[in-house]
Structure 1
Amino acid sequence: MSLVISKRSLMAGSLMLLANLLFSAMAVAEQKETLGKWDVHYIAFNSTFITPDVAKHYSIVRSKYNGVINISVLNKADQKAQSAVLTGTARNLLGVSKSLTFKEVSEGDAIYYIAVLPFSDQETFRITVNINDGTDQQVLKFQHKFYAE
C-alpha cells in the first residue's frame, strides 16, 4: 500500500495546523474583542512560525523581521465566520505609521485575514484595524511587541 500526499493537501494541512495553533494560542491569551455584532479574534506573531510552503502559498516573506497579524471576524450570535473588508495601520512608539494590507483567506467554513508587518527587534506597535462588512463598521485596537527570533 502506498501513500501519496499532494503538495496542495500538504499546504492545506500545514495551514490548518497553523490555524489550530493560532486559535489554541488565542484561547489561552483570549485575544478577542466583542465589537457590535462581531466577536473579533486576533493574534500577531513572527512570520518564521509559518512553514516555508505555507508562506510561499500565501505570498508571505518569512523573515525574523516580518510579523503577521491574523484576524477572524465571527458573528457574535452563531460564531459563523464573516466576510468583511479590513484596513489598518500600525504605529510604533515613535509615531512612525505603517499601512496594513489584509488578505482574505477562506478555507471551508473558516475565513480569516492576514497582514504582514515589517518590524525591528523589540518594536512595539499600536495597531488599529477598521472592519467593514457593508452594513456595519467597527474598529479593533490593540498593542503588540515583536521580537526578532
Structure 2
Amino acid sequence: MKKLNAIWLTFAAVFLSIISAGALAEQKKTLGEWDVHYMVVGTPFLTPEVAARYGIVRSKFNALVNISVLDKNTTKAQRADVSGVARNLLGNTRKLTFKKVEDGDAIYYLASLPFRDQETFRFEIDVKKGNSQQTLKFQQKMYVDE
C-alpha cells in the first residue's frame, strides 16, 4: 500500500509539473518575500484516479486553480494560508476553498472553480504567513474544451 501511495503522489507531482512547465507559459508574480506561481486549467486534463484522490470533480465546466508559494531567495516551498475569490465580469463572486497538497518538498494549494465557456474571472488570492500578507491579482478567460 505504501508503494501504491508513493506512485500516486509521484504521478500527481509529475502531472502538475508537466502542466505548469509545458502546457502553459510560466505564470509567476513576486509578492514581497515570495514568488507566487499560479495556473488555472480545465479539470478534464486530470485522470479520474488523480481527480478522485484530491476530491476534484472532472468536468468541462470545472477548472482547477493551482497556487504555489516559494521563498524568492531560497526557492523553498512555503506553508501558508491561501484563500481567495474569483469574480466574473458581471460581479458574481465565487469563494475559492484551497486544499493544501504536500509531495516531498513541493507544496500546492488547489481549489475548484465552476465556469461557463468564455467566462472571464478576476482572481484575488490572499497569501498569509506569520505577520506577512500579500494579495495575488490576475485575470483569466476560461474556455470549454469540446
Instruction: Tell me the TM-score range normalised by the shorter chain.
Output: over 0.9
Instruction: Map 1:51-70 to 2 at 5 A.
Output: 51-70=47-66
Counterpart residue number, 1:3: none
Q: Does 1:21 align with 2:18?
A: yes
Q: Which runs of 5+ in 2 are unaligned?
A: none
**CA distance in structure 2 between the partners assigned to 1:59 and 1:89 by the alignment:** 19
Q: Are 1:100 and 2:82 matched, yes or no?
A: no
Counterpart Cα distance in 2 of 1:134 and 1:13: 30
Question: Given the alignment, which residue of 80, 89, 94 partners 2:76?
Answer: 80
* 1:12 match: 9
Q: Could you tell me how far apart the structure 1 residues matched to 2:40 and 2:71 are?
A: 21
Alignment partner for residue 33 of structure 1, among 24, 29, 32? 29
Distance 2:92 2:27 in 1: 24
Figure out how many residues of one structure are paired with residues of the other and give that number. 144
**CA deviation digits over 1:18-40, x for unaligned, max 9?**
122133148x6231000000000
Structure 2 residue matching 1:143: 3-state secondary structure: strand
- RMSD between superposed Cα atoms in Å: 1.6
Give the aligned residue type for 1:14. F
**Are residues 1:145 and 2:141 paired?**
yes
Could you report, residue by residue, the CA deviation over 1:42-74 in whole angstroms, capped at 9, with x for unpaired residues? Answer: 000001111110000000000000001001000
| Contact residue 44 and residue 60 of structure 2 kept, 8 A | yes
Largest Rg, 1 or 2: 1
Distance 1:35 1:111 in 2: 17
Normalised by the length of structure 2, the TM-score is: 0.92
Secondary structure, counterpart of 1:117 in structure 2: strand
Q: Is the 8 A contact 1:14 1:51 kept in 2?
A: no
